[in-house]
Amino acid sequence: MTAIRAAATDGNDDTAADPTWLPQAGKTAADPSYPGAHATISAGGAFVLRTLFGNKPLQLSVTSEVLPGVVRSFDSFADVEEEATLSRIYAGQHFRSDENAGEGLGRAVADFVVDNYLTRVHRRDGEGHKEGSDN
């Protein structure tokens, strides 16, 4: 929003200012642009979910508190990640570079978490349970 409204001061003759421009969402939040938080969280979450469940197709539907009655459906974790990331650009909150940085950060953190904190638990049949007991 700030970039479009103040485009006349950016030193680029190819941009034109629109001092009254507002994104479709109305106004942007007063939070830092770089890196994009939605992209960071979405990329990290999708990375962990793909690690746990693989890349097989899935059907996932979500609703929104902001848009009551609207249901979005997705075929993969990657699709959810992409829409969450792009939504912040369309809302006028971030530049694409902010979102690219957020995606990279989110994946790096998720990769570290997966490698260092998520471990598979292999159980042998009957482990922790004695036959004939309630344990």
10-34 pLDDT, tens digit each:
888 888 888 888 776 666 776 777 8
Mind listing the pLDDT tens digit for each residue in 32-91?
778 988 899 999 999 999 999 888 888 999 998 888 999 999 999 999 999 999 988 888
Asked whether residue 121 is domain-assigned, the answer is no
Specify if 10 maps to a domain. Answer: no
Give the chain's radius of gyration (CA, Å). 22
Q: Check: CB of residue 104 under 8 Å from CB of residue 112.
A: no
Domain extent for 52: 35-116
Closest CA to 72 of 87, 80, 82, 62: 62
Please tell me the predicted confidence (pLDDT) of residue 23. Answer: 73
Q: Is residue 22 part of a domain?
A: no
User: Does residue 124 belong to any structural domain of this protein?
Assistant: no
How far apart (Å, rounded) are the C-alpha atoms in residues 29 and 23? 11
pLDDT tens digit sequence for 86-109: 988 888 788 899 999 999 999 999
Domain membership of residue 21 (yes or no) is no
Which burial class, exposed, middle or buried, applies to 47 when counting CB atoms under 10 A from its CB (0-12, 13-18, 19+)? buried
Note whether residue 110 is domain-resident: yes
Residue 48 in domain: yes
Query: How buried is 28 (Cβ within 10 angstroms: 0-12 exposed, 13-18 middle, 19+ buried)?
Result: middle
Name the domain count of the chain.
Answer: 1
Answer yes or no: is 49 within a domain: yes
* Token code pair at residue 107: 């994946």
